[in-house]
């Protein structure tokens, strides 16, 4: 209780003296507070990734064509940023597929693709409703087709520690230099 009080007091003082406000910045993704399950079946909100900037995209792991391309594109972005002194950028990949992409299956997929948990988090949605809301928040179009397939647009977004999207590509053939520019400008 004391700790909670001190925290509130601290925020109060911060608000008075620095104009810092606990109200989320305009359009911060952290206003979206749905709970997802990560590959270890732990509940996660976007805000849980707020310590450092991170990349976010949506995929479904049974996709044989574009999703591996999305992942390799993200790896290119990570390499580019790594070469410019920004290492170990975290990646959050949220799934469209509430049926097949269970935490267990996501974990298996990560092993198969050799994606370390230190740098990658996969998120499983509990329903289509949850996935739909995140897709709208991120500006991703998608449609559930038959037989566990999804048709979707490919968006990769770079989110800063406040939850603002500071760079984004909406097409996998777009130049990834925008990510470097956005992070180095920080």
Q: Is 150 in the site for other proteins (CB under 8 A)?
A: yes
DSSP for 28-44? Answer: -GGG----EEETTS-EE
Contact 108, 24 (CB under 8 A): no
CA distance 33 to 20: 21
Q: Is 139 in the site for other proteins (CB under 8 A)?
A: yes
Q: Is 136 in the site for other proteins (CB under 8 A)?
A: yes
Nearer to other proteins among residue 28 and residue 124 (C-beta): 28
Q: Which of 162, 160, 154, 153 is nearest to 179 (CA)?
A: 160
Segment interacting with other proteins, rule: CB under 8 A, options 14-22, 26-34, 74-82, 111-119: 26-34
**Residues 79 to 118 in contact with other proteins, rule: CB under 8 A:** none
Q: Is 172 in the site for other proteins (CB under 8 A)?
A: yes
Radius of gyration of the chain (CA): 17
Q: Is 182 in the site for other proteins (CB under 8 A)?
A: no
CA distance 172 to 60: 16
Which chain residues interact with other proteins by CB under 8 A?
Answer: 24, 26-29, 31-32, 63, 65-67, 129, 132-133, 135-137, 139-145, 149-154, 170-173
């Amino acid at each position: 209780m004391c700790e909670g009080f001190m925290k509130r007091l601290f925020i109060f003082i911060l608000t008075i003296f620095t104009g810092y406000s606990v109200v989320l910045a305009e359009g911060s993704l952290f206003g979206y507070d749905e709970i997802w399950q990560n590959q270890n079946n732990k509940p996660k909100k976007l805000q849980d990734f707020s310590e450092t900037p991170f990349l976010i995209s949506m995929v479904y792991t049974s996709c044989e064509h574009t999703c591996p391309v999305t992942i390799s594109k993200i790896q290119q972005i990570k390499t580019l940023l790594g070469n410019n002194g920004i290492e170990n950028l975290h990646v959050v990949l949220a799934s469209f597929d509430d049926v097949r992409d269970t935490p267990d299956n996501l974990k298996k997929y990560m092993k198969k693709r050799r994606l370390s948990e230190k740098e990658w988090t996969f998120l499983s949605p509990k329903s289509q409703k949850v996935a739909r809301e995140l897709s709208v928040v991120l500006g991703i179009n998608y449609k559930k087709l038959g037989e566990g397939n999804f048709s979707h647009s490919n968006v990769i977004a770079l989110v800063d520690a406040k939850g603002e999207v500071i760079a984004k590509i909406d097409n996998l053939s777009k130049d990834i230099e925008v990510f470097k520019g956005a992070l180095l400008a920080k």
